[in-house]
Amino acid sequence: MTDWKKEVDARKDDLLKDLFDLLKIQSERDDSKATKDAPFGPGPKEALEKMLAIAERDGFTTKNVDNYAGNIDYGDGDETLGIFAHLDVVPAGDGWDTDPYEPVIKDGKLYARGSSDDKGPTMAAYYAVKIIKELGLPVSKKIRLIVGTDEESGWGDMDYYFEHEPKPDFGFSPDAYFPIINGEKGNVTMTPHFEGTNGGSYTLENFAAGLRENMVPGNAKATVKAPDEAAAKKLADDFAAYIEKNPVKGKASVSGAEVSFDLDGKAAHGASPQLGTNAGTFLAVFLENYDFGEGAKAFLTAAAKYIHEDAYGEKLGVAFKDEKMGEVTMNAGLFNFTADDKDADNRITLNFRYPKGITADEIEQKLNDLLAKAGTTITRGAHHMLPHYVPKADPLVATLLDVYEEHTGEKGDEMIIGGGTFGRLLERGVAFGAQFPGFEDTMHQANEYMKVDDILNSAVIYADAIYRLVK
């Protein structure tokens, strides 16, 4: 019987070296530098090429599908086990204590953007397959590790990949939590759009917050023109008092009758917006008390009245809970308002994670009913995922839970989340690890980290699980 822990420990230094090399690559999507050869920008392409080069070094068969995604193959058989990981990361943002692209281990924790989402788990899964290959263990199915480069945005990588490559028969994604995630909520984005007009005694010149729709905005900025210099000074003083009374930080700078605001909240993963402090809505709540008009007023009121501190869509009228899959959650991830610019898209981007029992059509209709009266239009994002569930009795789920229980001594049970993983790409697809129960969730936040022991222990579990599924 294979001692998987011994095999992982023997490769610990190599695993961490390869992972450090991957983490040093700034693989944020950058559309401003996208080309036909680098569809999501140079960073994701570089990370993909590095991962495939590591696999080629180790003797695997690899394929780069036009720098959208790639696969690493081992073994053969009538069925294929797919392992879906991703190498792109969300923007690093501010607030880091270390350089997000210079990985460092402190107190047993590996700090870097992507350490837990998803380069650390990706490398753990890769080394699991590498161990099976190096031991020459017999397999009856093909193992295909598929690495994507656009998981954090629109999944354009997988759309393109599966136009050119067949889907595996079953599989998992190492991009979530143990013991298992066999259900994922639906995921849809609705965007209210506003006129860039003003009509009150105060003018909202611009307002911006957020980096991605699936991140709680950690910072918001705005510029306001007050009626006169005295009103501008009072506005800044009022803001200082507001900051003192709320769980945010910030400052206001006055220049004549103009006031510039800078407010810091707390970023979090958009699948769990209740864990963050939305800088955009906190700034809107403050400004909404003043005499703004027309499009600016509609923009601020929507954020302050219907979105602020309401992760479950109650104020929007879309709250719903399914007994198995849980509640609707809503993250206001992007805010943009620029006055009197006909080319500006003045909007608030709302990302909903929803269970079975409610539909995207119903959510859209309720938003229209509520906001259309203010002249707001609603558009739906093209990237829409329906709720996904693989029964607990499925042999894939049962096997993965058995492996988890044997290695941890902890009872494993099914789990359903709001996050969307590549596991849902397959009808018989789940998410499996790599975060262990009780971990501190720092994904999409400053100072993202993953415990080194958790990376290694997940590799142990992956090696055993993969081999049981294909032997």
For residues 213 and 88, give the distance between their C-alpha atoms in angstroms, rounded to a whole number.
15
Query: Which residue of the set 88, 264, 294, 327 is catalytic?
Result: 88
> Element (H or E) spanning 233, and its range?
helix 229-245
| Inter-CA distances, 404 with 180, 395, 418, Å | 9, 14, 22
151 is catalytic: yes
Compute the distance between CA of residue 16 and CA of residue 133 in angstroms, rounded to an integer: 19
Residues 11, 143: Cα–Cα separation, whole Å: 20
109-111 sheet: strands from edge to edge: 104-106, 109-111, 449-451
Q: Which entry of 151, 152, 195, 448 is annotated as an active-site residue?
A: 151
List of residues 6+ apart from 7 with CB closer than 8 A:
131, 135, 463
Task: Please provide residue 434's backbone torsions phi and psi, each rounded to the nearest 5 degrees.
Answer: -105, 5
SS3 of the chain: helix, strand, coil, percent, to 5: 35, 25, 40
Sign of CA dihedral 269, 344, 280, 371: negative
Residue corresponding to tokens 């209740």: 274
DSSP code of 110? E
**The residue to which tokens 């070094």 are assigned:** 57
Residue 88 annotated among the catalytic residues of the structure: yes
Tokens, residue 211? 């980096």
For 295, phi then psi, to 5°, come to: -60, -40
Amino acid at 4: W
d(CA 99, CA 88): 17
Active site residues: 88, 151
